Structure 1
């Protein structure tokens, strides 16, 4: 019984010490917003920092489903019509990449500038 109690105290102490570190790391992660309407992303060009994992919030303002996808980097996310989704991309090396809506590729091609 003493071992179980000591184990719980140790686990609680460990969690208490790590929580501020996790909150600090989450607070420093860059976040960006995108929207898609009439099968076009806004902003038309998105610039993010190189070598950094970034959080993207995508608002689908269309009635139809959109899928954020790229042939240049890993990642993709479905957003049903009217839905807001959050996902992460990167870290990516400096350069210019392209992303689009899988269902409306020609109308939705957008540049991602990583610097």
Structure 2
């Protein structure tokens, strides 16, 4: 049986724009866009994991708000269970510490990016809710 990896992603929005992160060339799914976040550690809630990951990846503090989407994607080696949450930056300016690039993208242009497959349902949900 394939291992299940639980991950979280932050949908950070400002004035109709969404913060998108480009995976670096040395990451799996290299040069695909994603919502910033990462793996949930043992004994960590999704909200705690998201706050920790955003601090590590963007050097920002956030408040986690409502869940946007939950997606399960199977690959050759594992099963990814991604939960995305709306989040608000309360301290710091996003820095691309672990990503190739960060970009504020107008919500109506989200589909123009090459997304990691697990993030596509969140993109679709955001487009639908416009």
Higher helix share: 1
Structure with the larger RCO, 1 or 2 (CA within 8 Å, 6+ apart):
2
* Bigger Rg, which one: 1
Q: TM-score, normalised by structure 1?
A: 0.26
